[in-house]
Chains A and B, each alone.
Chain A
Amino acid sequence: MISELKLNGISRAYGDHRALTELELTVHGGEFIALLGPSGCGKTTALNSIAGLLPLTGGSIDLDGRRIDTLPPEKRGFGMVFQNYALFPHLSVRRNVAFGLRMRKVARPEIERRVNAVLDLVRLAEHAHKLPGQLSGGQQQRVAIARAIVLEPPLVLMDEPLSNLDAALRLDMRAEIRRIHQEFGLTTLYVTHDQEEALSLADRLVVLRAGRVAQIGTPAELYESPRSAYVAAFMGYRNILELTAEVLDGTRATVAGDGVKLVGTLADERDDGPVCTVGAPVRVAIRPEDLRIAADGADVVFEAVAEIVEYHGREFQVDALTRTGQRVHLRTDERVATGDRLALTVDPRRALVFAGGGDGT
C-alpha cells in the first residue's frame, strides 16, 4: 500500500479553456476520496491526468516521493474503472481480468490464482468464461473493478462507475465498492456528480467548481459547515435566499429582504472570499428539514403559502411560496394541505450566511 500520493498544483488547459486549475491534494494510503462536482467541473479531467491519459499542463504528481507525472499510463501502475467499463469485448471475463497480469508477464499459475481470488471477491466466479456482452450492467461493472484491482495497484481510479446502472442496483453496487475497498485495502479516488454517493462512500470529499477546488473535507465537515453557497447547494441546502445583511454580531448576522427577516450564522468563509459587511448582499442557505413550521410563540421568520404537498410516509415534503414569490422547500411531519398559510422559523445555527450575492461564491 502507498503511504501518500501528492498532487502538487496539477493543471490541465485546452488552449484558453482551463479544465483544471492547480489542484493540491495529498491522498493517504487506504483512503477513499471522492471528487465531486457537476458535469464539466473538471473532475474527470483530474482523474485522467492522474491516470496519465491526459498530459498535464502544469504541476506535478509524486507517489511516495517519486515523481510519476512524466510516466506514460502503462508505467504508473494505477487501476482504473471507466465510466462505460471499457471491457475488451473480444475477451472472456477471465481474460479481461488477467489482461494486466499477462502484460506484466506474471507466471501462469500465479495469474490463475490471483484472477480466481479476485473473481471470488467480486462474486463472478461462475461467469468467468462468458464474454462481457453476455453480462448484465452490474456484472460488467464488477468485472471492470476486478480488472482494475487484480494488479493490487497503489491507487484505484473510478470514473462515475455507477452512472450507467439503475437506481436499485446503484445502491447495491455502492455497498459492494465500499466492501471491496476495505477488504482489499485499496486507496481509491472516486469521481461522481452524486453527492449522496460521495457522502456515503468517501473518507474525504473534494468539491470542484469550474476546474478549481471549492472545498476539501470529511463528509461531516462539508455537510455541517460548507464554506460557500455553491458547496452548500451541492450538500443538500435546497433553500438559497438572496438577502441583505442588517446587523453583524460576532458570528451572528441578522439578514433581511423580500419580507423575510432572520438571524443566521456567518459561515466560515474562505480567506480570499468577500467579507461580510452591513448592507452588503448575502446568501442564506437552509436545508429543507431545518425550515420548520413555527410553534406558537416562536420567532416567525416569514410566512409562505403551501403550493405543492407530497406525502413521503413519515413526513411531508412541501413547496411553498413567500409573499414576494420566492419558492422555499421544507419537510415537516405536521399535516399540511395545499393552500395552507404557513408560519416558518429556523434555528439561527442552522441558517448559514454567506457574504456576496448573485452568482459569486
Chain B
Amino acid sequence: MLRTKALTLRPGTWLVWALVVFFLVNVLGVIGSVVLDSFGTTWFNGWSPNGYTSSNYSSAWNEFDLGQVMTVTFEITFLVVGLSLLLGVPAAYALARRSFPGKRAVMLLFVLPILVPPIAYGIPLATVLYKFHLAGSLTGVVLANLVPSIPFVVYTMTPFIEQIDPRLEQAARMCGAPTRSVLGRIVAPLLLPGMLAAGILVLVRTFGMFELTFLTSGPTSQTLVVSLFSAVFSAGIRSAQSIDAMAVIYTGSMLVLLVIALRFVNPTQLVARSRD
C-alpha cells in the first residue's frame, strides 16, 4: 500500500529527480573524461582513448616536479590549518561568550574576508607582499591563505562554543579551578570535535584555494592546484594526457581529504559557514 504510493510520484517529482540525475551525469562525465584520458595513450576522437598506459603518471610526476609541489602543498596547508585554529578559536570563544560594545563591528571585520572575492583583496595583498619582499615565498602564501581561513574558523566555531553550557565553566570555577585549568581541562576537550571539524574544513579549502595562492606564489611556493592551472594554461608544449594525470593526482588527494572530512563533518558543513 505504502510502497505503491511512493512509486506513483507526481510529474513534478520526476522532473526534479531527472534534473538531479542529469546534473550528476554531467559531473560524472566531467570527472570521468579527465580520469580516462589520464590513462590513455592518445585520444583524438571517439568514445574512448586508442590505448591505455600508466606512463602519463610517471611523466607528469617528473615533468611537473610533483614531489616538490606536493611537499610544498602540504607544508602550506598544515601551516594554514594550525595558525588559523590558533588565531581563530580564541576569538570565536570570546565572541560566543561575551556581548560587548562593538561586537557587531568585530563580526563585520570577520565576515568581510569571506564576502569579498579573493581576487579583489588578493591583488592589493600581493602588492603589499611584494613591498615587504614576501611575495613568492612560502611565508607569503601562508599569510595570504590565513585571510579567509581565520574568519572561517571563527564562524564555524562560534555556534559550536555557544552550545556548550557556560555553567560547566562556572561549575569548574566553583570547584576551585583557575582560568588555565578551566580552559585546558573543561573547554578544550569539549571543543576538540569542533576544532577537528573546523581544521578539516580549512584543510579542504586551502588545498583547493586557487586565486590567493596563484597571486602570491612564486616558482618554489606553488601548490598543486596552481601548478595544474599553469600547466593547462601553457598547454601545447606538454601532452594533454600528462596534464590530466596531474589533474587526477589532484582529484585523488582531494577525494582522500574529502573522505576524511566527511567522517567528521556533515556534508552541508562543507559549504554552510554557520547556522546563523
Binding site for B on A (CB under 8 A): 55, 57
Contact = CB atoms under 8 A, between A and B. Distances in A.
A55 B6 CA distance: 12
Interface string B1-37: 1100100000000000000000000000000000000
A55 B1 CA distance: 10
4 contacts: A55-B2, A55-B5, A57-B1, A57-B2
Interface string B89-130: 000000000000000000000000000000000000000000
A55 B5 CA distance: 11
Category for how many chain B residues contact A: under 10
Contacts of B5: 55
A348 B2 CA distance: 53
A135 to B, nearest CB: 24
Contacts of A55: 2, 5
A275 B1 CA distance: 40
Nearest to B2: A55
A57 B5 CA distance: 12
Contacts of B2: 55, 57
A194 B2 CA distance: 34
A79 to B, nearest CB: 26
The 4 closest A-B pairs by CB, nearest first: A55-B2, A57-B2, A57-B1, A55-B5
A107 B242 CA distance: 72
A173 B5 CA distance: 41
B31 to A, nearest CB: 37
Nearest to B5: A55
A202 B182 CA distance: 53
Contacts of A57: 1-2
Interface in B168-219: none
B13 to A, nearest CB: 16
A53 to B, nearest CB: 15
A265 to B, nearest CB: 47
B111 to A, nearest CB: 25
Contacts of B1: 57
Nearest to A58: B1
Nearest to A55: B2
Interface in B45-63: none
A57 B3 CA distance: 11
A55 B2 CA distance: 8
A335 B153 CA distance: 65
A55 B3 CA distance: 12
Nearest to B1: A57
A198 to B, nearest CB: 32
B235 to A, nearest CB: 53
B275 to A, nearest CB: 16
B84 to A, nearest CB: 36
A113 to B, nearest CB: 37
B47 to A, nearest CB: 44
A22 B209 CA distance: 60
Nearest to A13: B2
A57 B1 CA distance: 8
A231 B148 CA distance: 62
